[in-house]
């Protein structure tokens, strides 16, 4: 009976060790699954952030393009005013600078306001002089309004 008891004891020990190993492996698989799920979620969140960043940059680029268009419109308006004798020329260019609410970075703003100049003289030191304009851009509709300052 001694050998049989030892054999039974050995089998029981193997069963216990096997069950313990199975439990450990099961917990490891659960942890691996949880880690894989967390990694997938992190990748999905990063992809969403990247997509939003790309969309935001596209919006900023459109806004910068709208500012260039506002400058073209003001230059054209000033040149027409020269032709009509309202202003003295020549009009060399136009330049606009954002004032309160004019930043292209604030994507929550619906409009942008700008101080603009229809340039008649460019000095060697880089300064310019000319006629002042005020401009407004509606970011949502793409419409522009401007007026010659006083």
How many other C-beta atoms are found inside a 10 Å radius of the C-beta of residue 78? 28
Supply the pLDDT for residue 51: 86
Contacts of 48 (CB under 8 A, 6+ apart): none
Supply the pLDDT for residue 102: 61
pLDDT in tens, the chain (150 residues): 677 777 777 777 777 777 677 777 777 877 877 788 878 888 888 888 878 889 999 999 999 999 999 999 999 999 999 999 999 989 999 999 998 756 778 888 889 999 999 999 999 998 999 999 999 999 999 999 999 987
Supply the pLDDT for residue 8: 76
Q: Give CA–CA dist 69/94, Å, rounded.
A: 10
Q: 112-133 b/e with 16+ CB inside 10 Å = b?
A: bbbebbbbbeeeeeeeeebbeb
For 125, which DSSP code?
A: T
Supply the pLDDT for residue 72: 97
């Amino acid at each position: 009976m001694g050998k049989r008891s030892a054999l039974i004891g050995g089998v029981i020990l193997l069963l216990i060790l096997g069950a313990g190993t199975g439990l450990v492996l099961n917990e490891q698989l659960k942890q691996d699954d949880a880690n894989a799920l967390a990694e997938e979620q992190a990748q999905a969140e990063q992809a969403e952030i990247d997509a939003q960043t790309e969309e935001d940059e596209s919006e900023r680029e459109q806004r910068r393009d709208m500012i260039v268009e506002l400058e073209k419109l003001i230059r054209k308006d000033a040149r027409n005013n020269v032709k009509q004798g309202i202003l003295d020329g020549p009009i060399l260019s136009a330049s606009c600078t954002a004032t309160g609410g004019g930043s292209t970075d604030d994507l929550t703003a619906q409009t942008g306001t700008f101080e603009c100049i229809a340039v008649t003289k460019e000095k060697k030191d880089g300064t310019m002089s000319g006629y002042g304009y005020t401009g407004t851009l509606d970011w949502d509709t793409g419409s522009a309004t401007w007026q010659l300052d006083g």
